[in-house]
Structure 1
Amino acid sequence: MLQHRPLAGRGFARPRAAHDLTHQHPNHPQHVPAPSPITRAIAGVFAICTASLTFVSGTTYAQQAPQASQASDGQPAAKDTAALPTTTVSSNRDEDVKVERVTSGALGTRRAVNTPFSVVGVNSEQIRNQMAQTATDAFKWDPAVTTLSENKRNENSYFAVRGMRVDMLDGTKIDGQNFVSWQADIPLEPFEQVELLKGLSGFMYGFGAPGGIVNYVLKRPTDEPLRQFSVGYEASNVWSQKLDLGGRFGPDNRFGYRLNLVNEEGNTAEPNNHVRRKTISFATDFRITPDLTWSADVAYWKRQTTGTLFGMSFGGATAVPDANKVARNLAQPFTYYETDALTAGTALDYRINDQWKANFKYRFARQNRLNGDSFLYVMNSAGDYSDTQYKWKTAYYYQAWDAMVEGKFATGPFKHNVVFGVSYQTQVKLNDNGLGGNGISLGTSNIYNPSLLPNQDIGMDYQPYRSEKISQRAIFASDTVDITSRISALVGLRYTQFNDDLYDIYGQTGTSYKAKPVTPTLALMYKTDNDSTAYASYVESLEPGGSASITDSNYPTTYGPLKSKQYEVGWKADKQSWGANLALFRVERGYGYTNVSNFYVQDGTQRFQGLDASGWVRLARDWRVMGGVLLLNTKAVNVDDPNVAGKRIFAAPRYVVTGRVEYDTPFVRGLTVAAGVKVTGQQEVDAANTLSIPAYTTIDVSAKYATRIAGKSVVLRAAINNLTDKHYWTTTYNGFVLPGSTRTFLASATMDF
């Protein structure tokens, strides 16, 4: 399911447009209605504000920002302790904002500094200040995060952590429960916080790849009335409108609500690329008693893009072409990609007493995915390529039930913090047996001078069928024992009954995989003081096996589960004016790859080891500096294929370096400017290391101006991503490359009313 499953059963990928920007897909017109007079007025005010800036950036500290008590957008803090406080601007600079607590799956909710793992979080204030559109943007300044694909000219924004891809089937959670994000972006507007657990998560979340867990924490009802409207602009002509409402009502304010609405449409800065996006989310709760709360939520989003490319590969090439020489308008304008998702959840939270609490929660999720994009196969060193469009439809249905109890007690001199619970979840995939999945040849062109190819409109011929069902039943327990006031130990176990059934197009069971693993977690922690912790941890995890893609000779072969182990020692600090995270890690993971005979195999072990370090500090009153470095050594070991044995793991950079500076200007009250740089090292493109993409550097700048108009908070923001318009490649699957994003200007105005 992991590894090559993105390609399983779909044909392959999709191309991007030629240089004729006027060619339109009939269902996705490139024309965008003119903005309203109000929108133009707001944009004009902001243009005047930002024109005077020499460089720009939002006020947040990326993942490790310092603490603050209020939010600059004037947004009240949510009641949930896992959500982040926000701030109100009342001086010439914003108070610092940081993530205080994070969700840790089967460990419950804890301060990040008190966990024996590498975990970071970004709250909604930071997301707005960074003008982040995806989780990849939100965690951009963490050196452990490497961009694998962008979401404008490619299908979705996707990233790896410490060189390991985040699993799109098991690596995404909403409020700690499984959510599908297969080749799809999750909008950030419905969420109060996004958290990233780096590395293995077997005990905390069950089956999943060692790339980590991305947990989205939903916005919940606010205790104080919230009325907020935003209008946004993205080059070259994308306009968005966003509404965020929250509050409480009824006797003793026992009923709460939170509503988020988003509309976005227009032509992006990428050639031939048009985006249309809508999001709606609603959350409510009822405080039945002071100790018992019922909550529920529902969210729906849809995203449509044209001019999209799934990937590129090279036949017989000895080097990947220079990205500076390759044209950017590679995708045909009539190619398209669409996803929509629906999720609904409910929960009961009960505080038994001051020491014990319990909760039960249920979540349903559904995702539809419609491919109409294409794949480019570069045939020679001259850059000639064949363009094949794939039309494919898939759907995923998830359900999850979880019950958990957390409590504290003492046995003699030892204090215990225990968690135990049960969970059950199912995943059903619908695949497509239609003709479009076999690929539609659009013709040939050249990557240095692409041309408009004819649209081969042969229809869809969708034939959905249930291709796979995965079920997991689990019971888990953990005990964090305070041995002394500074030393504590963690022991956790999860027992899982895992079942994976694969079906043919006639509904008959083909292959079944069953496993009953016990995945342990062991850790020792030493509190160097109240706000810092040294730790050593060991984690085991299993992930579903990989599948051969339709381009592999042994398609559709699927393999059994893969086992991973992780060893990590580290130190973390979360101080008032500085913070740091330092980790030495080693991950051993089963290896799945396509060999030189074009067969997908599971053979040997991937080994990842390195240093992951980051930190931030406030210098004087108005300056904040953050930065980090990832040094990564990867190797294929115990592999039978001599072409792969001893080689580096593909799509894993040798190093990543990040740096960001923020300045609260004393000469303009409420204005913060910043600039950031990220250097991503060389990456191998394939398992045999025959191709690689070079290191590249991107620079972002942004600005934020917070003021009050008629007694209401108004915040203006602007940013330029990829300031130097750097041309670069990214790589995801074995043998694939994708073009990086072009320079893009963004702006927004947010008003309380």
Structure 2
Amino acid sequence: MNLQRAFAVSILAFHVAAAFAQATPPAAPDDKAVPMAPIVVKASADASAEGLSPAYPGGQVARGGRAGILGTKDNLETPFSITAYTNELIQDKQARSVGDVLQNDPGVRIARGFGNFQEAYFIRGFILSSDDVAYNGLYSLLPRQYIATELFERVEVLRGATAFLGGASPGGDGIGGAINLLPKRAPNEPLNRVTLGFGDNSQYNVSADIARRFGPDGAMGVRINGAYRDGGTSIDDEHAELGLASIGLDWRSRDVRLSGDLGYQDNRLRQTRTNVSLGSGVTSVPGVPDAARNFAQPWSYSNEKDLFGTLRGEWDIARNVTLYGAYGLRRSEEANSLANITVDDGTTGASSVQRFDNTREDRVDTGEVGVRGKFRTGSVGHEWVVAASYFQGERDNAYAFDFFNSLPTNLYSPISHPQPAFSPATFYGNEISSPSLTGRTRLTSIAIGDTLSFLDNTLLATVGLRDQKLKVENFAYTTHAADPAYDDSRVSPAVGVVYRASKRLSLYANYIEGLTQGETAPSTAANLGEMLAPYVSKQKEVGVKYDAGRLGMSAAYFSTDKPRAIVDSSNTFTSNGEDRHQGLEFTLYGEAAPGLRVLGGATWLDAKQENTGSSATDGKRVIGVPRWQANFGIDWDIRAVEGLAVDARVVYTGSSFADGANTLEVPGWTRLDLGVRYLVEVQGKPVTLRARLDNATDKNYWASVGGFPGIGYLVVGAPRTFTLSGSVDF
């Protein structure tokens, strides 16, 4: 047993013994029965006694959010940067996906996953794929391509590495931060809400949100959501269809709290505009095509079906000691026929496409168990937690890639082709109609943490360790031969300090690590097939948070070093390289004046490649990461017309590079979004009408660069997009 594990075991023994020593309440002074207080039901997304963090004035964000295994924390009392966006914001901005919600976050930029239409997110300049988004605290349970907003109550963004707080993410992301989505729960009052919406090119949507509480004291809650969308988009000839249904249940007694969720989503895309790859001979970034133009092939499509669910529970086994557990699963099927465009001439836009079909099935099972509690040793308070987690994901894949059968097209004057039959030179992997196992990931971990409070709770110190084991198995296409399994482990520490200088002001600092699987040496290296030890990213952060009562703000400086693999002068594949991301963040939220809500901030990023082994890339900026990005939004009640409100949002993203040598610079952009809503009573029923105009000036721009490490493909931003909706509560 190494020193870190021995320390963890000794701390665990001390905390459990101390907690149970104080767990038995004192006897009543006489034999008279002590009257029991009624159960007070408070809707909670995660079956916890803490419940949801309350909304901050203005209603767009919450006062805090979940800090992994530490539970839900107030912003001023956690040494980490967390923003939780509320369902009120989701509705008022008519956000349809996680990416739409995060358009309001100055530290996040939306991109696309590699080779498909998957959402991906740059957090502090590091990529987080939608595969690694958490649902109610558990990774990889939601649809991995696109997550509709009807499924969740809150979007929580935790900035910074998270190996201790949530464990290593299955896809190897989570270095720059984590995203956690909270499911909906039945409120204390009955809810019946129907929404109808319309948009560009005959797109329409309908959704229903119904909730009830039952039983004594409303202890049992049921919430049902259903939605259907169909029609065109603001991009020519695109078609999107989505259907979903979900049910969320919760029940609580005095000492036990339970919740469960089950959801189904069917997302179908036809002729969706693709990513734009730049060929090896391209020496300049092509000009942006018309934002409404579609260069996708008419036969291309992408379909995904997902069934997913969670169970979560808590049991107060003694005073100030709570046992908790959770389990989640996902079963998914995907089928695609793609024809991504590759630009061969950046001036003329001459390009080519090849047919690429693939199918995929996913099976995910994951869970966690833990115990948390509180006690005091003299003047020092303790909030401790011990937890264990398990994740297993299996992936079945098959593909057919007709690489040598290129079809000509043009970025600016697209050429449509009939769907080509596969040529004799097509590369195949497994049977398209019956994909086979190609990957299995198993993650297990044990974590222990304690938040100590000193000086009447003005000084808080959090310490923790997580012992994480990573086992990754890959199986060859067609032959199904197993590669050597990646099997390694690492103990990840975390330390954080908060100083409450006043009721309104907190200063904080943290050191925390990220953990991802090391890479395998390629065939060109002298150490072919060698698996590198897990990559450990190291983050240091200091910051300040201020709550003025109705207006909140925060500022932080962070520095994160992430290892990267290089082939050194001796032709050995090694992890001596690194990406170093340093930055400053500022956020602002709340009510600047009665009826005037603000939300936004700015981020400065210095993301560089270090010790790459090549003078062409040493010291150059990381692909896809701008130096500056900023958001600012206002939401204003028009007092002259009761129930009327307008909003405006400006999104700015600076220039970035599409290649590691920084020879292909992609221009920055600024976008303006506008909205209006009107709340009126019709026959005694509240009706909310909303209209929105995103990209109001119809700007043509490259919305993102990359979305997969080391690859600099481009995505064209959507044109001016109009949406209109009406909701009625009855």
533 and 360 in structure 1: CA distance in 2 versus 1, 3 angstrom threshold: same
Cα distance in 1 between the residues matched to 2:326 and 2:307: 17
Letter in 2 for 1:157: E
Equivalent residue for 1:653? 626
Letter in 2 for 1:292: V
Equivalent residue for 1:141? 104
Match of 2:654 among 653, 675, 681: 681
CA offsets, 1:622-680, max 9 Å, x none? Answer: 32333311111111112112222111100111110222222110111011101111110
Contact in 1 for aligned 2:53/2:74 (Cα 8 Å):
no
CA offsets, 1:141-174, max 9 Å, x none? Answer: 22111122399x96133220111111444x3111
Equivalent residue for 1:615? 588
Contact in 1 for aligned 2:42/2:51 (Cα 8 Å):
no
Equivalent residue for 1:744? 721
Q: Find out whether 1:159 has 2:121 as its counterpart.
A: yes
Contact in 2 for aligned 1:608/1:634 (Cα 8 Å):
yes
Equivalent residue for 2:307? 342
594 and 295 in structure 1: CA distance in 2 versus 1, 3 angstrom threshold: farther
Contact in 2 for aligned 1:272/1:331 (Cα 8 Å):
no
Equivalent residue for 2:258? 294
206 and 617 in structure 1: CA distance in 2 versus 1, 3 angstrom threshold: closer
Letter in 2 for 1:731: V
Equivalent residue for 1:201? 162
Equivalent residue for 1:584? 557
Bigger relative CO (Cα 8 Å, ≥ 6 apart): 1
259 and 326 in structure 1: CA distance in 2 versus 1, 3 angstrom threshold: closer
1:367 positional shift: 2.6
1:575 positional shift: 3.9
Which stretch shifts more, 320-329 or 303-312?
Answer: 320-329
Contact in 1 for aligned 2:143/2:265 (Cα 8 Å):
no
1:133 positional shift: 1.3
Cα distance in 2 between the residues matched to 1:326 and 1:701: 18
375 and 180 in structure 1: CA distance in 2 versus 1, 3 angstrom threshold: farther
CA offsets, 1:260-297, max 9 Å, x none? Answer: 0011100111112000001110111333x321133221
Give the 3-state SS of the residue equivalent to 1:128 in structure 2: helix
CA offsets, 1:489-513, max 9 Å, x none? Answer: 1101101122111122333321211
CA offsets, 1:545-566, max 9 Å, x none? Answer: 458999x9x9999865322000
CA offsets, 1:394-427, max 9 Å, x none? Answer: 2222111211222111001101111111111111
Cα-Cα RMSD: 2.9
1:78 positional shift: 3.0
- 1:594-673 pair list within 5 angstroms: 604-616=577-589, 618-673=591-646
1:198 positional shift: 1.1
Cα distance in 2 between the residues matched to 1:330 and 1:399: 38
Letter in 2 for 1:186: I
1:712 positional shift: 1.9
1:230 positional shift: 0.6
Q: Find out whether 1:716 has 2:689 as its counterpart.
A: yes
Equivalent residue for 1:304? 268
Match of 1:497 among 466, 469, 472: 469
Cα distance in 2 between the residues matched to 1:660 and 1:480: 35
CA offsets, 1:418-472, max 9 Å, x none? Answer: 111111111111121x4x2344846102212112222225598444121111111
CA offsets, 1:64-84, max 9 Å, x none? Answer: xxxxxxxxxxxx983455436
Give the 3-state SS of the residue equivalent to 2:104 in structure 1: coil
Equivalent residue for 1:278? 243
735 and 251 in structure 1: CA distance in 2 versus 1, 3 angstrom threshold: closer
Equivalent residue for 1:372? 337
Cα distance in 2 between the residues matched to 1:469 and 1:357: 33
Q: Find out whether 1:484 has 2:448 as its counterpart.
A: no
Give the 3-state SS of the residue equivalent to 1:700 in structure 2: strand
Equivalent residue for 1:177? 138
CA offsets, 1:332-382, max 9 Å, x none? Answer: 222111222211221221133552322111111123222212221212232
Give the 3-state SS of the residue equivalent to 1:204 in structure 2: helix
CA offsets, 1:81-109, max 9 Å, x none? Answer: 5436689xxxxxx9645313412211112
CA offsets, 1:23-53, max 9 Å, x none? Answer: xxxxxxxxxxxxxxxxxxxxxxxxxxxxxxx
Give the 3-state SS of the residue equivalent to 2:76 in structure 1: helix
Which stretch shifts more, 309-318 or 296-305?
Answer: 309-318
Q: Find out whether 1:361 has 2:361 as its counterpart.
A: no
State the identity as a percent. Answer: 28
Letter in 2 for 1:419: V
Equivalent residue for 1:115? 78
Cα distance in 2 between the residues matched to 1:410 and 1:531: 25
Q: Find out whether 1:568 has 2:537 as its counterpart.
A: no
Structure 2: state its 5+ residue gaps: 1-40, 424-430
Equivalent residue for 2:24? none
Match of 1:396 among 337, 362, 377: 362
Equivalent residue for 2:200? 235
Equivalent residue for 1:26? none
- 1:74-89 pair list within 5 angstroms: 78-80=43-45, 81-83=50-52
Give the 3-state SS of the residue equivalent to 2:463 in structure 1: strand
Contact in 2 for aligned 1:700/1:721 (Cα 8 Å):
yes
Give the 3-state SS of the residue equivalent to 1:189 in structure 2: helix
Which stretch shifts more, 657-666 or 613-622?
Answer: 613-622
Which stretch shifts more, 482-491 or 437-446?
Answer: 437-446
Contact in 2 for aligned 1:513/1:560 (Cα 8 Å):
no
Give the 3-state SS of the residue equivalent to 1:236 in structure 2: helix
Give the 3-state SS of the residue equivalent to 2:414 in structure 1: coil
Q: Normalising to structure 1: TM-score of the pair?
A: 0.83
Give the 3-state SS of the residue equivalent to 1:707 in structure 2: strand
Equivalent residue for 1:331? 296
Cα distance in 2 between the residues matched to 1:240 and 1:691: 40
Letter in 2 for 1:521: A
Q: Find out whether 1:223 has 2:200 as its counterpart.
A: no
Letter in 2 for 1:611: L
- Compare CA radii of gyration and give the structure with the larger one: 2
Cα distance in 2 between the residues matched to 1:555 and 1:704: 61
Cα distance in 1 between the residues matched to 2:88 and 2:383: 31
Cα distance in 2 between the residues matched to 1:291 and 1:315: 63
Cα distance in 2 between the residues matched to 1:103 and 1:606: 28
1:199 positional shift: 1.6
Q: Normalising to structure 2: TM-score of the pair?
A: 0.85
Cα distance in 1 between the residues matched to 2:558 and 2:483: 39
Cα distance in 2 between the residues matched to 1:416 and 1:264: 49
Letter in 2 for 1:664: D
Contact in 2 for aligned 1:283/1:295 (Cα 8 Å):
yes
1:616 positional shift: 3.0
CA offsets, 1:157-194, max 9 Å, x none? Answer: 3220111111444x311100111568601111121111
Contact in 2 for aligned 1:586/1:609 (Cα 8 Å):
yes
Cα distance in 1 between the residues matched to 2:104 and 2:231: 28
CA offsets, 1:688-720, max 9 Å, x none? Answer: 222121111111000121122222221111111
Letter in 2 for 1:272: D
Give the 3-state SS of the residue equivalent to 2:718 in structure 1: coil
370 and 548 in structure 1: CA distance in 2 versus 1, 3 angstrom threshold: farther
Q: Find out whether 1:426 has 2:392 as its counterpart.
A: yes
Letter in 2 for 1:257: V
141 and 503 in structure 1: CA distance in 2 versus 1, 3 angstrom threshold: same
